[in-house]
Structure 1
């Protein structure tokens, strides 16, 4: 009853999302891929695959050579029906291996607590059902999925980023936002880089703190539903 979690940066861990999964009985095997952590050759022994965020394109093998084996694991999961959750870079990687397109520095950047709009397709989705039609989540991106895979189900969007969430097949989800992130994560972001993008870090923190009670409730439920899919099937 374990999930394989791929961490792509020193600070990009599973956060509160991982803690909630563990509470539901889904243990986490977190591989620090950015630091040379060894990825398994296949998903044998794992009930799900979770790929976290990072500042790379999904095919940036020159900068992040571990992404090639991560793509192979994602392809295996799609082929065999092992549940997948891709977050930020993980969502882009899932879209990429399933036949979609990802573009670097595409559109306007997003950072901080951001309003998402759920599409009608999300109403009966195993993870998104029960969420309000408009829901806040932490964002931190400049790259974006510009074309979904042909067989993907488009689930959510935001003002600056059309593809915020999607599902491929019955049990592989990609989310551009960060359900694992809290206002404390935002405090660690580069204030000068944010300023160049038109954001004030202190204001982002204040807004996220204001939205946190509702966000915590929404994304804990989301985590519970993913754990249920991983442990019991869709």
Structure 2
């Protein structure tokens, strides 16, 4: 089997390594089946995407709508644009987690801004009719109601790009997941996060403006007690199973 490719933008080793481990675990992949490229660490090497079964873009501290961007962020965005240009042109298998919403939406001319940001929390999400018909969401569609997943983002989509199919929505954030073409998916929520995973992110990013640092312990307690719908992780597994080649 050709490996999957995980593109990461997290400068903190603990968060980057944790993300790779979580994505591999919930996708049902061994570490060797998920190549990890840390885009923030160095200029992205030349990639032949035909060498991979699919591409997964992890989350991170960058925001597409940031008014002032560092040279590092601008370089990361340029590297990702080159990958996304090929992904979107050839309708290659792609799954963007949180940060992927901003990158894909911006690339396709939609609007990403600060209107629908959500604090670090567990939120209720519901599938649209199109989401209930999508193969990647079959296990969630089989549930009688919606589902609960972890979120934490400063920006969100306020206008979908042309041609995007809305798959999941929420009360505070109307765009929680969409698809472009047949094979390009992005989620605003985090299908790779469980209780320990969100706890690690809270510790690592407690000074990044998602919440006040003095709220760390109470937020850890709240998220630890949250009940996440187990089937939310099936998105990663079904992505890997469908596109492995």
TM normalised by structure 2 equals: 0.81
- Where 1:56 maps in the other structure, the secondary structure is coil
In structure 1, the gaps of 5 or more residues are: none
* C-alpha displacement of 1:46: 1.1
Contact 1:14 1:180 in 2 (8 A): no
Give the one of 21, 32, 40 matched to 2:27: 21
Does 2:119 align with 1:110? Answer: yes
Two-structure CA RMSD over aligned residues (Å)? 2.7
Mapped partners of 1:23, 1:168: distance in 2: 25
Mapped partners of 2:219, 2:138: distance in 1: 28
Give the one of 81, 106, 127 matched to 1:71: 81
Contact 2:117 2:155 in 1 (8 A): no
* C-alpha displacement of 1:195: 4.7
Mapped partners of 1:162, 1:26: distance in 2: 36
Give the one of 93, 100, 110 matched to 1:100: 110
Question: Which residue does the alignment assign to 1:208?
Answer: 223
- Structure number with the higher helix fraction is 2
* C-alpha displacement of 1:24: 7.7
Question: Which residue does the alignment assign to 1:154?
Answer: 166
**CA deviations over 1:154-189 (Å, ceiling 9, x no partner):** 011122111110000101001011111222233414
Does 2:56 align with 1:55? Answer: no
* C-alpha displacement of 1:23: 3.3
Mapped partners of 1:92, 1:15: distance in 2: 23
Mapped partners of 1:219, 1:205: distance in 2: 20
Contact 1:3 1:26 in 2 (8 A): no
In structure 2, the gaps of 5 or more residues are: none
**223-232 vs 174-183, which deviates more?**
223-232
Question: Which residue does the alignment assign to 2:206?
Answer: 190
Distance 1:32 1:220, change over 3 A: same
Mapped partners of 2:219, 2:82: distance in 1: 36
Report how many aligned residue pairs link the two structures. 228
Mapped partners of 1:110, 1:84: distance in 2: 26
The structure whose RCO (Cα within 8 Å, separation 6+) is larger is 2
- Where 2:51 maps in the other structure, the secondary structure is coil
- Where 1:66 maps in the other structure, the secondary structure is helix
TM normalised by structure 1 equals: 0.85
